[in-house]
């Protein structure tokens, strides 16, 4: 399979851990204009709920303008309050059953680390997508689980559920994941903490 056959919008962009100033929103617009981002996940672990809502509303407007799905990390109740497109859940977060009661038909994605068993459970429980990783060393968060590329093909044999690959993805390794059945690539540090390229330039290196 050639890259030209791969889905046009394959980037699942995750926010930086901290959004410091208005320059972030300028950069986000530049990135979205490239029409390669399918999802944006707001992941602010250390912000107050009040500040998170202020930031979320600004990002949500930009997402709507560029037709990018806006997801909240960890918090289905906040996703409902904001009328976000959905929520991403880790294994230690609220169960998908509870989240589904809150979010109804909205998008719910599940972290499955490197486990086919967790993936099968997520599929059985009607997750909208599953996320595997880390495939490479990540500087964004401490890596507890390492996933092999072979897991992508294993899941494709049993389900058509969209797969998000995560962990240390950059311009040197992204092609391999796309060519081995990853539908979307979750990227954060390579975009926001890149010492060589600005966010828009970093994205251009992988499209």
CA–CA–CA angle 116, 104, 10 (5° rounding)? 50
Averaged pLDDT of the chain: 93
Structural domains of the chain sorted by starting position, each given as residue range(s) with its CATH number in brackets: 3-204 (3.20.20.70)
**Local confidence band at 140 (pLDDT 50, 70, 90 cut-offs):** low
CA distance 29 to 138: 25
**pLDDT at residue 5 in the model:** 43
| Structure token pair of residue 120 | 């099968």
**pLDDT at residue 63 in the model:** 98
**pLDDT tens, 10-51?**
999 999 999 989 999 999 999 999 999 999 999 998 899 999
**pLDDT tens, 73-132?**
999 999 999 999 999 999 999 999 999 999 999 999 999 999 999 999 999 999 999 999
CA distance 59 to 65: 10
Q: Are strands 86-89 and 11-14 parallel, antiparallel or unpaired?
A: unpaired
69 close to 63: Cβ distance less than 8 angstroms = yes
**pLDDT at residue 143 in the model:** 74
In this predicted structure, the answer to whether residue 1 has a pLDDT above a threshold of 50 is no
**pLDDT at residue 145 in the model:** 85
């Amino acid at each position: 399979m050639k890259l030209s056959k791969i889905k046009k919008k394959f980037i699942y962009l995750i926010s930086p851990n901290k959004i410091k100033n208005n320059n972030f929103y300028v950069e986000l617009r530049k990135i979205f204009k490239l029409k390669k981002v399918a999802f944006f996940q707001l992941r602010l672990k250390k912000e107050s709920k009040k500040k998170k809502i202020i930031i979320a509303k600004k990002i949500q407007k930009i997402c709507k303008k560029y037709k990018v799905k806006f997801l909240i990390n960890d918090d289905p109740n906040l996703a409902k309050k904001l009328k976000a497109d959905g929520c991403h859940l880790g294994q230690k977060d609220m169960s998908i059953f509870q989240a589904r009661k809150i979010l109804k038909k909205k998008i719910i994605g599940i972290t499955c680390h490197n486990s086919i068993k967790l993936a099968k459970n997520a599929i059985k429980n009607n997750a909208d997508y599953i996320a595997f990783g880390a495939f490479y060393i990540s500087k964004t968060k401490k890596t507890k689980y390492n996933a092999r590329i072979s897991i992508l093909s294993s899941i494709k044999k049993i389900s058509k559920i969209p797969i998000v690959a995560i962990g240390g993805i950059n311009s040197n390794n992204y092609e391999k994941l796309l060519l081995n059945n990853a539908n979307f690539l979750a990227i954060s540090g390579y975009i926001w903490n890149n010492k060589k390229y600005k966010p828009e330039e970093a994205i251009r290196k992988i499209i």
